[in-house]
Amino acid sequence: MTDQNARTPFPTASLLGYPRIGRRRELKKAVEAYWAGTLDSAALHQVATDIQLGTARRLRDLGLDEPAAIPGTFSLYDQVLDATAHLGAIPSRFGQLLTEDGQLDIDGYFTLARGTAEQQPLEMTKWFDTNYHYLVPEIGPETTFSLASTRIVDEFSLALADGIETRPYIVGPVTYLLLSKGSDDAGTDFAPLSRLADILPVYVQLLQKLAAAGASWVQLDEPALVVDQDTPAARIAAAVTQAYQVLTSAAARPQILVSSPYGALGDQLDALAASAIDALHLDVFKGAVPSAAALGSLGGKTVVAGVVDGHNIWRNDLAASAAVLDQLRAAGGSLAVSTSTSTQHVPHDVTEESQLSEQLRSWLAFADQKAVEVRALADYLANPASARAAIDEATRVIANRAGARGVRREDVRARLAALTETDFTRSAYSVREAAQAAALNLPLLPTTTIGSFPQTAEIRSARARNTRGQLNDAQYRQLMRDEITRVVALQEELGYDVLVHGEPERNDMVQYFAENLEGFDVTVHGWVQSYGSRCTRPSILWGDVTRSAPITVAWAEYAQSLTSKPMKGMLTGPVTILAWSFVRDDQPLGDTANQVGLALRDEIDDLQAAGIKVIQVDEPALRELLPLRRADQPAYLKWSVDSFRLATSGAADATQIHTHLCYSEFGVVIDAIDGLDADVTSLEAARSRMEVVHDLESHGFGRGVGPGVYDIHSPRIPGEAEVTELLTKAVQHVPARQLWVNPDCGLKTRGYAETEESLRNVVKATQAVRATLLEAAQ
């Protein structure tokens, strides 16, 4: 650490991170144009530069004007992929991706994210308890490490040349390895954490380059330390000690902030306290304030208090946060204010949502407003009187929200109070299985898709024109019916067994329901990154939820009229509606989930009455909300499973209930998946190459299951041989009578040409494996 850097205090007010997609999704559009070949690398670089400098200037103007207050958390795709690039940790299965000078260029970077014709991309999974997805590093004994990128240094220098000193960010070494999986060449007992000593020299080299560029602080993100891991806590603590002894001993380095978002550090606080890091971020919004003794053990480290929620959009209770800061300040030492997590999980600016009522807007704080809240709380620490007006206004708004019309509805609450155990229970599966077999008459290895078909430019244009009043409702309905007719005919031509209507009328699997349920509002510009270039607009669930009219029935009924094959009714489950919305924080999540469950139960009743015999209730986010600490998980799993069962338990025995989950570690929640009691469960499995079938086999999963055979999050077209190989593996671990064949997820983001070819290959492979099984049974 240089003397100059040692004299730079940690900023009194900062954010852990900021949205990086651009206020109008400029990055998404530029990256996808680059992939399509309509934008060159120089133009993409310029878009990235404009976003980075625009963010730095905006946050400076909002009051984060001290050196290192603004986080350098920009990424072209994913922050974990960025760490992989900087470490040069390229899986050997990709061949030689590094350039002659040992760097990973932009095309190599995107190859890891998107794959090639021969190689699947890196696996994708949930980032802690959020709806963000990261790319899983593949580490083995054979992995080599070298500084293969200096993008973090370049981005710091870019802002510095503009007169703003940012705080460079990278995923910390312990978290990076804990999030990794063993490579194809690694043995089953290999632990990526065993390579810690080998990656630390690369981190040191990066720190030294940052110091040489003038960085006074760097942020090493260690959220894996707030999770109960399978790796013993003592082993993790030893890794923390080892990592930060090496990094803090570097001859020339910036001062080090270790951030610990998404919960309390627990036992790992001791190892960080004993280290020579310079500042430690604590999530004291979600986690409890450490004891006075624990705080006292931090010595001269600056405590960066995450008192403003970076993960949700509700206005901060500044009075309560000030009380937390007083508690921390009483322990002595240097204290700064920040968010609990990066604000990458929330939109940019609530003032742009002019279509929302002024009252609702006053309840909300997006990323820009959180910067203002952080600044106000830092001012409180310096001079409590200076923040009095802001604190009083926040208190007034929170009281207004509590008493607002629609926040509580007595009819909804009375219906919940009247529920009994029978409302959460269906007949035994054996009874349902027989009834469904008679009603549906499906072949061995029945084929289906997950729900959505490609949303073409024409579909999106029609929706936009209808919203603007340029296309009347009757014209819009006819265009959507025409698309449904096309989708049904395509599935019949391809030979699928259980069909879907393709969901052309839906802008988003959650927002569509939010627009048709009371207690929700939706944004116009409230985009957040889900993964890579994919963005979502979470709805705002602010009040008690109820359904005033059927939502999906007319579309499903029309689609069923076009075919004699079973047509799925498509619903989004209660947990996913909560997980992919910004949900009210003034009552237990389980109560809100049950309100949504009752609304969906009414929808299922109407679908059955319309003649729909197969109904899918998607729960891709079931794993997402799982608490990071094991002690908190049983309560979550109880209410999440109950809300699904409340939604589906009114279904008749002959009605086949499907559900769908994607991009999660399914083994962690296999008991809960079983507890949903769905008749058929489809799961992501293609990108992970059927890893899930081992969990299904060891658990003894006894109902229908469709491990995915087509990775729809990559532009790759799976060949017939590839799908055959996946199906052959599946039938080795799961009885063929239980197996369904389907893609990993919905097809909304894909184009029709690649979709048709891929789905055709899936059917061909299914027919081949089906024939083999039937021949073997004779």
Residue 777: predicted pLDDT:
84
Three-state SS string across 211-225, please? HHHCCCEEEEECHHH
Q: Which of 281, 345, 501, 713 does the annotation list as catalytic?
A: 713
Residue 6: predicted pLDDT:
54
Asked if residues 569 and 607 have their Cβ atoms less than 8 Å apart, the reply is yes
What is the Cα–Cα distance from 234 to 101, expressed in whole angstroms?
40
| CA angle centred on 694, ends 713 and 634, rounded to 5° | 85
Long-range contacts of 487-493 (CB under 8 A, 24+ apart): 487/453, 488/559, 488/562, 488/563, 488/567, 489/562, 490/453, 490/756, 491/449, 492/563, 492/565
Measuring CA to CA, how many Å separate 591 from each of 384, 422, 585? Answer: 37, 18, 11
Asked if residues 700 and 693 have their Cβ atoms less than 8 Å apart, the reply is no
Nearest to 767 by CA among 447, 450, 437, 498: 447
Residue whose structure tokens are 């800061």: 325
Q: Return all residues near 772 (Cβ < 8 A) that are at least 6 apart.
A: none
Length of the chain: 778
Structure pTM? 0.93
Span 604-620, pLDDT tens digits = 999 999 999 999 999 99
What is the Cα–Cα distance from 166 to 439, expressed in whole angstroms?
63
Residue 343: predicted pLDDT:
98
Residue whose structure tokens are 């899983």: 136
Stated as kind and residue range, the H or E segment containing 558 is helix 553-560
Q: Return all residues near 727 (Cβ < 8 A) that are at least 6 apart.
A: 445, 709, 739, 741, 765, 766, 769
What is the Cα–Cα distance from 747 to 728, expressed in whole angstroms?
24
What is the Cα–Cα distance from 216 to 211, expressed in whole angstroms?
7
Strand, helix or coil at 581?
strand
Asked if residues 284 and 306 have their Cβ atoms less than 8 Å apart, the reply is yes
How many other CB atoms sit within 10 Å of the CB of residue 580? 24
Residue 23: predicted pLDDT:
96
Counting Cα atoms < 13 Å in the Cβ hemisphere of 197 gives: 3
Please, what is the angle between helix 151-161 and helix 79-87, to 10°?
A: 110
Q: Is 115 left (phi over 0), alpha (psi -120 to 50) or beta?
A: left
pLDDT over 90, % of the chain: 92
Asked if residues 68 and 11 have their Cβ atoms less than 8 Å apart, the reply is yes
In the predicted model, residues of the chain with pLDDT beneath 70 are 1-6, 663-665
Coarse DSSP helix, strand, coil percentages of the chain, rounded to the nearest 5 percent: 45, 15, 40
Residue whose structure tokens are 């009252």: 359
Nearest to 290 by CA among 306, 312, 311, 314: 306
In 300-428, which ranges are continuous DSSP H helix? 318-330, 358-362, 367-382, 388-402, 410-417
Span 110-153, pLDDT tens digits = 999 999 988 889 999 999 999 999 999 999 999 999 999 999 99
Is position 699 annotated as part of the catalytic site?
A: no
What is the Cα–Cα distance from 90 to 659, expressed in whole angstroms?
35
Asked if residues 48 and 146 have their Cβ atoms less than 8 Å apart, the reply is no
Nearest to 199 by CA among 168, 153, 157, 239: 239
Residue 664: predicted pLDDT:
61
Nearest to 119 by CA among 729, 716, 730: 716
